[in-house]
Structure 1
Amino acid sequence: MRRIARPLTGTALAVAVAALAAAPAYGDEGTGRLELSPAGVVPGDEVTVRTAACGAAGTATGDAGAVGAGLFPLAPDGGRFEVPPSAQPGTYEIVATCTYGGRRVTGDLVVTLTGTHTGQPMYPRGSVKTGVGGALGPDPVQTAAGVAALAVAAAGGTWLLHRRARGDGI
């Protein structure tokens, strides 16, 4: 019986040590998460990210690729990224990896289509593509030729209508 008990005890002890070594060691629950402000956004908003998980002077690389924003630097005083205008509604996991130690911390970002945009207002730019040229178009010679053609057509139409009204026929 002793021959079986010792190997089983040794195996159980090894499994327990491995589980403790693999488990994250949190000094306090607040340091193991990313703090996202605001946590609920609309596409186009800017998000501020902070964490104490990397230490007081630690830096990290943030990854907001899940929402389509890519990588961003995370300094001890925080970091920022912009939610792309093409972001779809949903909950996205934002990840940061500490530069020293490789600790990985996460936070959840909720994107909705309703709500208030907290960033700078966006104004439309550019022209509308309608397939019709502008009033003066890119070439003034073509514009002048078009106006001349319309004038000749109007004069010819007026002359024909006047002739018909007199009874001269066409």
Structure 2
Amino acid sequence: MRRTARLLTGTALTVATAALATAPAHGGAPRPAARPYGAPTGSLEVYPATAIPGGQVTVNTAACGEKGGATGDAGAVGAGVFTLAPTTHQGEAIGQFQVPPSAQPGTYEIVAKCAEGSRQVTGDLVVALSAAHDQVQPRGSVKTGVGGALGPDPVQTAAGVAALAVAAAGGTWLLHRRARGDGI
């Protein structure tokens, strides 16, 4: 019985700890981990990731080193060759190109080749007929008759997890007393 009580307590505390660790404290999306200054990465960042024909796109990479430039190739989407110039912002090389008005919807690979060495990095650009922010996003809840969730509020989530942890600890304490023969 004690083994079961300890197992239940450990499981409840593990669940509570995991839920608290994953709930964002600021109410938004989690922030990506910081990259050390000048550390090369193996990707080409494309912003915006989804563009419309005729839109401006910015690409950057730190793969070419702190003072390395690159030559970009957006020929897959029809934009041709462009230059990525080194900047002082975390050793990144940044460049821009315009998506041709004749570009068709789809996903296109954008390539950058470092000026020094033979390193090459790639990133994806999605071309859409309309900008993603113009699309209407669904809101509200689904009427299933089963009930609803609390929502994305991290304070409510943390309070719920804390209540579950307290209930699990109390139940474990009662099971422990019962196993010792102290009664309830």
State whether residues 40 and 65 of structure 2, in contact with CA within 8 Å, keep that contact through their aligned partners in structure 1: no
Match of 2:117 in 1: 101
Match of 1:70 in 2: 80
Shift of 1:76: 1.4
TM-score (norm 2): 0.46
Question: Residue 149 of structure 1 aligns with which residue?
Answer: none
**How is 1:105-120 mapped onto 2 (pairs within 5 angstroms)?**
105-115=121-131
Conserved 8 A contact 2:110-2:122: yes
1:91 aligned to 2:104?
no
Count of residues in Structure 1 that have an aligned counterpart in Structure 2: 91
The CA deviation at 1:75 is 0.8
Aligned counterparts of 1:109 and 1:30: Cα–Cα separation in 2: 21
Residue 79 (str. 1) matches residue 95 (str. 2): yes
List aligned pairs for 1:115-134, cutoff 5 A: 115=131
Larger Rg: 1
Specify the alignment match of 1:58 in structure 2: 68
- Deviation of residue 43 (structure 1)? 0.3
Report SS of the residue matched to 2:41: helix
| AA at the equivalent of 1:98 | C
Gaps of 5+ in 2: 1-38, 88-93, 134-184
Deviation at 1:30, TM superposition (A): 7.0
Whether the 8 Å contact between 2:40 and 2:64 is mirrored in structure 1 is no
Which 5+ residue runs of structure 1 have no aligned equivalent? Answer: 1-28, 118-170
Q: Which has the higher contact order (CA 8 A, sep 6+)?
A: 2
How far apart, CA to CA, are the structure 2 residues paired with 1:116 and 1:94? 20
Q: TM-score, normalised by structure 1?
A: 0.50
Deviation at 1:105, TM superposition (A): 0.3
Residues 50-101 of structure 1: CA deviation (Å, up to 9, x unaligned) = 0000001001100000000000001113100000000000000000000100
Q: Provide the secondary structure at the position in 2 that maps to 1:75.
A: strand
| C-alpha distance in 2 between matches for 1:71 and 1:95 | 9
Q: Once the 2 structures are TM-superposed, how far is the Cα of residue 116 of structure 1 from its aligned partner?
A: 6.4
Q: Give the Å deviation of 1:102.
A: 1.5
Aligned partner of 2:50 in structure 1 is 40
State the secondary structure of the residue aligned to 1:105: strand
Sequence identity percentage: 67
Q: Taking structure 1 as reference, are residues 30 and 90 closer, same or farther at Cα in structure 2, changes over 3 Å only?
A: farther
CA RMSD of the aligned region, Å? 2.3
Q: How many Å separate the matches in 1 of 2:40 and 2:114?
A: 16
